[in-house]
Chains A and B, each alone.
Chain A
């Protein structure tokens, strides 16, 4: 038994991408036999992917970086010619997020998509999206990253337009695919610059031999611009509320995973590929040295403040249930970027300067930002599932036409309350734990940042309390008097997310030391990433 388990662990980076791909193309054939059999098959495939992810994560967190070469057992490292998957702490962390979301989405879809036509293609595309997100976070090769990015964006755009009889969905899908396609072409442009200069596509080889000349600066700017456009950071955030509200609700939960994986791409480029060049001094004014890390960090912090403010104010103004949660998602991404940006600008200090305690605050900020990624995925996922349940019961999305739902839909109301507490950072939910770390660490960097963050949190609380009062409390509206509670599969899916939120909120120390700390150490340690493939260079 132990022997089989160790064989599975050795091959798990390949199996974790191959199993959803294989299942995605078997689904139409199984669907021709029977509908219920296909639903059970899809849930089985996602649970099997989750099993492989858990054993891979366990292996990486205890034994360090795991590499896997496709196609050869003893690949040559001089030069590197094969495609490698390189799983370090941050990749394993993102893989955990990327398997929880599709499991919940597929269980929810059992009840939600029961009367739709074209269900086989719906499940095929969800499994393709899962394979794409997992490939994007596990790979160690730049062009492989581009291919999986395109797989994910094509299948998610097709799913956003799944309800082709609605005006809103189709135009949102067109906007999404145009912006996504231009972003991916710019990523390919930067990859071509890297290939032309260093004759390598492997991330570790590029990170080992990178300089900071004129072409490298162009590649950095193009990569950060294109990947932050895919991650919906202001001022490139306009596609997110349209796409998140036009898609069916379980699809939105998986698209949240896509957005977070593009954000992982930004971190991988900034921390690992350019990690060696962070301390080159570009210009020095006396004792104060301007390094690339300072410039990138300040730029990301400015974008983060802009994102938070825009997200919160548009959410205050909005009247549509799903669009409001979409704007709240934009604000939450701002929080993550704020923490990571302040970590970049303070942790990497050149030797000879005196601010050493700032490095400690930088490390704590990075921990808070990474912890907030998984919290945000769970919270926004739960809120979108609640919005989908309200839509399934009442067929309404405008807040002016909803009211008094708590009488008939008790469980949904409780889940919305849990989501509300989590998003606005109130104890005992997980949002409180990660936001407290972000407030504390960004206050040391600059007090204004922490004040802006706290104010945005308070305004998010105001937005969601308004939604709760108008949609769930209050008198019943006559047009939606006869609503019933949603089917049991949707309640089970929402319950899984709510249980995880409460667990992360009650035991944040356990989560931080076991799950977030390895990810943070892996990001800050780019030389370990390089030597795992190049063998001690």
Chain B
């Protein structure tokens, strides 16, 4: 991996993923769990974009570009796909929460049990 001059984006990625995992594992409100998943997804998207950057490069667009070194466009396409998938999963999780609230009348994850036998 080509190392960046400053490692701040990589530290931010690790920080975001750890904060998201903390929220998913230790919080009991269902909406906070969903927010934790969104934070993990933001961290992974940041990691993808950071990999495409080269020192002193411009955006990879040909229309009226000033010329020079361009950063890689492939990770940007991968990140766009990941954001779209994140939107779809988020919409699905929130509609499940609406249905769960209608049945159980609470959003506490420790009080939601199926018929476990």
Q: Which of B51, B89, B97 contacts A195 (CB 8 A)?
A: B51
B88 at the interface (CB under 8 A from A): yes
The minimal Cβ–Cβ distance linking A323 to chain B, given in whole angstroms, is: 7
Residues from chain A with Cβ under 8 Å of B78 in the complex: 143, 192, 195
Interface size on A, residues (CB 8 A): 36
Task: Determine the distance from Cα of A52 to Cα of B27 in the docked complex, in whole angstroms.
Answer: 48
On whether the beta carbons of B114 and A167 are closer than 8 Å, the reply is yes
Q: Within the complex, which residue of A174, A178, A196, A215 is in contact with B51, where a contact is CB–CB below 8 Å?
A: A196
Number of B residues whose C-beta is below 8 Å from A?
Answer: 35
Report the nearest A residue to B89, measured CB to CB.
Answer: A181
Contact B37 A168 (CB under 8 A): no
Asked whether B104 lies within 8 Å of A167 as measured between CB atoms, the reply is yes
Bound together, the chains give a CA A196 to CA B114 distance in angstroms of 43
Which residue, of A154, A170, A177, A319, has the highest number of chain B Cβ atoms within 10 A?
A: A170
Chain B residues, Cβ within 8 Å of A318:
117
Hey, which chain B residues are within 8 Å of A201, CB to CB?
74
The reply on A150 being an interface residue by CB < 8 A is yes
When the two chains form their complex, are residues B89 and A154 in contact, meaning their CB atoms are under 8 A apart?
yes
- Complex CA–CA separation, A320 to B40 (angstroms): 36
A170 to B112, CA, bound (A): 11
**B85 CB to closest chain A CB, in angstroms?**
5
Q: Does A246 contact B (CB under 8 A)?
A: yes
Which residues of B are found within 8 Å of A181, using beta-carbon distances?
Answer: 37, 89, 93
A-B contact pairs, 7 of them (CB 8 A): A154-B89, A168-B114, A171-B114, A172-B114, A173-B96, A189-B47, A197-B1
Add 12 more A-B contacts to A196-B51, A320-B115 (CB < 8 A): A154-B85, A164-B99, A168-B115, A171-B100, A171-B114, A174-B30, A192-B48, A192-B75, A196-B1, A196-B2, A201-B74, A398-B117
A-B complex: 7 closest residue pairs judged by Cβ atoms: A319-B117, A168-B114, A196-B51, A196-B1, A174-B96, A170-B99, A167-B103
Chain A interfacial positions (CB closer than 8 Å to B): 143, 147, 150, 154, 157-158, 161, 164, 167-168, 170-174, 177-178, 181-182, 184-185, 188-189, 192, 195-197, 201, 215, 242, 246, 318-320, 323, 398
